[in-house]
Amino acid sequence: MKFVKVSESAFKEIQLEAGLILNQFDPNGETDVEDAHIVCATTGGININCKPTFTDYGSDIDNVPDNMLEFKEIDGWDCSLGFTALNASVAVIKMALCAADVEGNKITPRNDLKVEDAQDVWWVGERADGGFVACCLKNSLSTDGLSLKTTKKGKGQLSCTLTGHVSMSAQNVVPMEFYVQEGASE
């Protein structure tokens, strides 16, 4: 049974638990997370997607097979981070609304988007070896708006999908980065 096997490093590299949504994280520095940097408590896990979009210049050429590598070009990247928040805080509601102004306890959606509405958001999760896996979504904006679901004798759930955006000042930079930090070897 030579194909019924797992690598010796597989368990150490497994990502565990749901992880955290953070507004600040230094993947090369101190990994103790301060409460002020935790965006929200989540339920149902976190969905991270980083998908390229392509143009296939061979798609209309007779006798060229579909998806011929040499005829494909990456147009851009669809990068997103989706989660369901349990916190009904000013910060989470403002984030889910995308473009909003805050005055005291009042959050008002607005029709115009400002550059400062975009923010970098981090997801950080643990590895079995004590290390971490991290993802930074750059220039994120909520693209599905606010959706709050309540239930009798239950917790309200605020769904949020953030999409990373390319910046005019860095047009060739994909709006998502990943980091892997191995834990201490035993």
Q: Where are the alpha helices (DSSP H) in the chain?
A: 10-13, 90-97
Angstrom CA distances, 167 to 3, 102, 126, 139, 148, stand at: 46, 25, 30, 7, 30
Q: Please list, residue by residue across 109-118, b when 16 or more beta carbons sit within 10 angstroms of its beta carbon and e when fewer do.
A: eeeeeeeebb
Residues 21 and 123: their CA atoms lie apart, in Å, by 5
Residue that is written with structure tokens 């006798």 in the block: 63
Q: Which helix (H) or strand (E) holds 76?
A: strand 72-85
Give the per-residue pLDDT at 55: 95
Give the per-residue pLDDT at 92: 96
Q: Where are the alpha helices (DSSP H) in 49-110?
A: 90-97
Give the per-residue pLDDT at 186: 52
Q: What are phi and psi of 171, to 5 degrees?
A: -70, -20
CA proximity to 125, closest of 46, 9, 12, 26:
46
Which residue ranges in the chain fall short of pLDDT 50? none
Give the per-residue pLDDT at 44: 96
User: Cα 182 from chain centroid?
Assistant: 21
